[in-house]
Amino acid sequence: MGKIKFIKIDTTPEPTLWETLKNSFKRAGRALKEGIIVIISPWISLYQSMWPRSYDTTVDPEAEEFFWSPKGKKTKGVLFIHGFASSPQIFRKYGQMFLQEGYVVSAVRLAGHGTSEAHLATTTAVDWYLSAREKYIELQSQCEKVIIVAHSMGTLLAIMLASIYPIESMVLLSSPIYVRDRPLYRVNYLLRPVSHLVKYWPLEKKQVQVLDKLGIYAYRKNPLRAVAGLFDCIQVAQERLHKVKCPVLLMLGDNDEHIDLSTLDYYRNNLGSKVIETWVAPQASHIITETPELDRFESKIREFVFKYSPL
């Protein structure tokens, strides 16, 4: 007896002309979609790496803010405000210096700093000012008077605070309130629209080498949108400079790559304070806290604070 053979009987009716065309369009659509995905996938990956939907907000241990209080009576405090893309790290040894003298010391970590460049890109001048104001109010609640020591962009925030609150005295380091006349600075209003195409601008290799050599925590590339916020700070600080009445010490390096010595004249002509002291650090860059004349630098700060804000 032979093997039984089974014949499959297809009872599906013959498709109509419309159904045949519709299925053909579906197949063509799927093929087109798969082809597009293959072509643009690398570009999507590049876009997501430059404009990430999420960002790291974990604070680096070296960038942590600090608040130190001496024993005994606490009459005066020193608020440290760091600069753009920097961190409180640059002020730790100066915080220890004033702590040993009996001052309460506090260093703010500005919003978006000490975490990631992508996080910084989401913050603005308003966020940075609010960070500084919060720490000022916290310190002022524990002390009778507050002194501010600030670097770079932090000096602009210090000016804003001093134009509103009763700051006793200020030390402003490498203040960019009046920057060099460069083509890039003149078109700063283009930074925000350009940031939609180019998110980051890397630091020069020479700057990175200096940061690495000094062991300074700082971002190695700057978000252009955040840089636009820096110029917002400059504008506001210039407008409020005449409202600052407390004694001010201005310190600037003669090799500062961003700020010309004429900044000191700008301060003398526009600052509302009657007490303005200046000191130019020889062979110092924008990171004036690492000046070769470190002993003189520290002595100048100490003498000024002891003179106008003694315990």
The pLDDT assigned to 71 comes to: 86
Amino acid at 130: L
Residue 267 confidence (pLDDT) above 50: yes
* pLDDT per position as a tens digit, 101-112: 999 999 999 999
Sign (positive or negative) of CA dihedral 58, 62, 66, 72: positive
Q: What is the mean pLDDT of residues 262-289?
A: 95
Contact 107, 134 (CB under 8 A): no
Q: How many CB atoms lie within 10 A of CB 114?
A: 27
Average pLDDT estimate for 239-258: 96
Residue 8 has pLDDT above 60, yes or no: no
For residues 211 and 86, the answer to whether their CB atoms sit within 8 Å is: no
pLDDT value at 93 more than 90 = yes
Contacts of 183 (CB under 8 A, 6+ apart): none
Average pLDDT of the residues of the chain: 88
**In the predicted structure, residue 254 carries a pLDDT above the cut 60:** yes
pLDDT band at 198 (very low <50, low <70, confident <90, very high): confident
Which residue type occupies 138? Answer: E
| Beta-sheet strands, E only, within the chain | 66-68, 76-81, 104-108, 145-151, 169-173, 200-202, 221-223, 248-253, 276-281
pLDDT of 175 strictly over 70: yes
Q: Is it the case that residue 10 has pLDDT exceeding 90?
A: no
pTM of whole model > 0.85? no
Decide if pLDDT at 44 tops 60.
no
- Between residues 55 and 222, which one has the greater pLDDT? 222
Three-class SS state of 256: coil
Q: What is the pLDDT of residue 5?
A: 42
User: Is residue 263 classed as helix, strand or coil in its secondary structure?
Assistant: helix
Label residue 85 by pLDDT band (50, 70, 90): very high
How many CB atoms are located within 10 Å of the residue 199 CB? 20
Which residue segments constitute the domains of the chain, with CATH numbers given? Answer: 61-179+231-308 (3.40.50.1820)
